[in-house]
Chain A
Amino acid sequence: MNDPRDLYQQLILDHNRSPKNRRVMEDADSHAEGFNPLCGDRITVSIKLDNDVVTDVAFQGSGCAISTASASLMTESLKGKTLAEAQALFARFRAMVMGEAASACEDGPALGKLEVFSGVCAFPARVKCATLAWHTVKAAIERRDEVVTTE
């Protein structure tokens, strides 16, 4: 693989330049902080839920193009999904960027735009960049009941 654009597809570059949902969410139901010790990048992901449906996702922080675009596209993909669908989507996304067979997670929503990250599996050093936002949102979902909101 010699063309950097195999990894850095236009959609990734666009979302890196103008990330979607990079903002503060005042009335979040839960949030979590993710940290990539490899590059020192930090990300905070906030979610808003209506029962078990994700109604809003936002993130803050800045990192490399892969992590920023991944966070941006993730926020778009998760809106309107149930928590079960979100978990299934993460499993499928994770399998794709790690180059694993996706057969185990054929159920659930399709990857859609997220397939733009399929090239990441050829870059083992960058898998964590692609999954950072997902791990962080997972943490936010799992601890949603622990987080006390004053809103």
Chain B
Amino acid sequence: MITAKSDSADTLVRTDAQSFDVEAIRRDFPILQQTVNGKPLVYLDNAATTQKPRAVIDAITDHYLKDNANIHRGVHELSVRATAAYEKVRAKVRDFIGADRVEEIVFLRSTTEAVNLVAQTYGHSVIQPGDEILISTLEHHSNIVPWQMLCEQTGAVLKVAPINDAGEIILEEYEKLLGPRTMLVAVTHVSNALGTITPIKEIIDIAHRSEVRVLVDGAQAVPHTPVDVRDLDCDFYAFSSHKLFGPTGVGVLYGKYDLLNGLPPYQGGGEMILSVSFDGTTYNELPFKFEAGTPNIAGVIGFGAAIDYINAVGMERIAAYERDILDHATQTLSAIPGVRIIGTATEKASVVSFVVEGVHPHDVGTILDQLGIAVRTGHHCAQPLMERFGLTATARASFAFYNTRDEVDALADGIRQVIEVFGG
């Protein structure tokens, strides 16, 4: 799953990273070929959203130019084509995450909607007052608030597994919090704010030993590391197209077939229905039961093109290349006096959160922007996590496989300029 750590694997990784033709890849991303504030754009905000290769943009354009129609019920040619293209992507997603069946892949708007769906369907069907939902300190607000809402609605209690100073979930504490009332564990695979890769397989195994279901927030994991939901044995896995080089407005919920099949519908209307009379409604089968309303057809089709693109580059090669970029960024940034990296987990995706002594992250972000460097500054929708580190905000550089070592160096130069402006 996550890059191997043995010496021989390291050598392989390095060789692989060297042979990775990043310049050829960059040419596939039209947006990267521009200057911002007179400087070449250095886009390091990939954890917020990734850029799209031309193949994705073309797939969306082609759909609207040639095949646009509503899906599933049309007998005419365009509808048949659009339906086939849309459903083909479901199979691509199934294969991409190693799911068993296409029925286990539900298309939604976002990772956030996927978490809300599970909270409002699974949550509502099993949670009783006094039951517990277990999350971690690392979570994004989108994997906190839906559970808080469920707790408010049902009288359940939210428990939070703590992290250590490196930003790693403390497994012993997590295990201790897993009690007889725990009904669900909802944990991230990769922290959006720190980059920590959680020991998700172990977290799932531990929960399953107590027969507790696990939802994994995979939004930040899928762009960086191969994911195999069967190997993980997770019950639910949520992620988004737009963090995976596809369009915005498409999220995926994976759920084990029997589990999804037993859930009540989430929203009513449209494709989720088999037949309606005023006496009652028969709901459609999986996965359509959860896809009420006309979906983001063009977005899903664009997402399919993104998966094809990533598969052509190779997820293993992407992970290896990004590891090299992360190592370079970690070394380069931590060598700058006054820079402190927040989140120093042993296992990390290519995300570097940092603070510059005496300079507010927003000022860091504004000065970097003047140099054409896009980073995110703020609490990264993880305020409890920031609080854990005694901060209100950090600056965050998050890398994708189209970023280069030169861009890391540009970032480092930019940070040195920040320090210079603020009188170091």
> Which A positions have Cβ atoms within 8 angstroms of B?
1-5, 7-8, 13, 16-17, 38-41, 63-66, 68, 123, 125-126, 129
Contacts and interface: CB of A to CB of B under 8 A. Distances in A.
A125 to B, nearest CB: 7
B38 interface: yes
B362 A39 contact: yes
Contacts, number: 61
B421 A4 contact: yes
B363 A65 contact: yes
28 contacts: A1-B37, A2-B38, A2-B39, A2-B371, A3-B370, A4-B367, A4-B417, A7-B366, A7-B370, A8-B363, A8-B367, A8-B421, A8-B422, A17-B423, A38-B378, A39-B361, A39-B362, A39-B378, A39-B392, A40-B378, A40-B383, A40-B393, A64-B361, A64-B363, A65-B360, A65-B363, A68-B360, A129-B362
B360 A63 contact: yes
Interface string B367-390: 100110000011100010010000
A40 B393 CA distance: 8
B158 interface: no
Contacts of A1: 37, 370
Main secondary structure of the interface of B (DSSP, over half): mixed
B289 to A, nearest CB: 37
B359 interface: yes
A4 B392 contact: no
Contact of B422 (A7, A13, A39, A63): A13
Nearest to B387: A40
B421 A5 contact: yes
A65 B359 CA distance: 7
A2 B360 CA distance: 20
A123 B423 CA distance: 22
A68 to B, nearest CB: 8
B129 to A, nearest CB: 33
Contacts of B37: 1-2
Most buried by B among A5, A65, A68: A65
Contacts of A66: 362-363
A41 B392 CA distance: 7
Contacts of A7: 366, 370
A123 B366 contact: yes
Contact of B421 (A13, A38, A129): A13
Given A1-B37, A65-B359, A126 B377 contact: no
Interface in B352-367: 359-363, 366-367
Contacts of A13: 421-423
Contacts of A63: 360, 362
Given A39-B379, A40-B379, A41-B392, 10 more contacts: A2-B37, A2-B38, A2-B370, A3-B370, A7-B366, A16-B422, A17-B423, A40-B383, A64-B362, A66-B362
Contact of A39 (B359, B371, B377, B417): B377
Given A39-B377, A40-B383, A40-B393, A126 B421 contact: no
Contacts of A129: 362
B35 to A, nearest CB: 11
B5 to A, nearest CB: 36
Contacts of A123: 366
